[in-house]
Amino acid sequence: MFSVINAIEAYAYANLLTQGIAGTGPVSFLTGGSDISMDYQNGALVVQGAEQLTLSEMVTNPAAAFAGMQSNFMANYQQMAVQGITIGIGFKLAKRLLRRPISNVNRNLMKPLGIGVKL
């Protein structure tokens, strides 16, 4: 059985991770192009174009992409932790508060349709 609320919660977590680590949303991460490069400037390694990483950049230039992901994670991990806790608590609280209406919709609308989907 497919749960719409659980799918929305999963997408919220996916968005949190891709925004914090890749700097872009899940859809852009999967469908975006490649503009990443890694150069040495004045004896230091510089990654350019790592603000918004995509899957194609991870395939075409994995060293630069992972360096950019590490940099993004170090800059955003505290904010990501707080947002992750907030998402978890928010969905748990919403499911509890809306338990009766959700059950009513599942029982009276979704179950008679017989499509294997619940709210």
Q: What digits encode the pLDDT tens for the residues 65-101? A: 888 899 899 999 999 999 999 999 999 999 999 999 9
Q: Is the pLDDT of residue 45 over 80?
A: no
The pLDDT of residue 34 is 75
The pLDDT of residue 101 is 95
DSSP track, 26-86: HHHHHH-----EEEEETTEEEEES-SS--HHHHHH-HHHHHHHHHHHHHHHHHHHHHHHHH
Query: 48-52: long-range contacts at Cβ-Cβ below 8 A with a sequence spacing of 24 or more?
Result: 50/23, 51/23, 52/22, 52/23, 52/24, 52/28
pTM higher than the cut 0.75: yes
pLDDT (tens digit per residue) in 9-40? 999 999 999 999 998 999 989 988 777 777 77
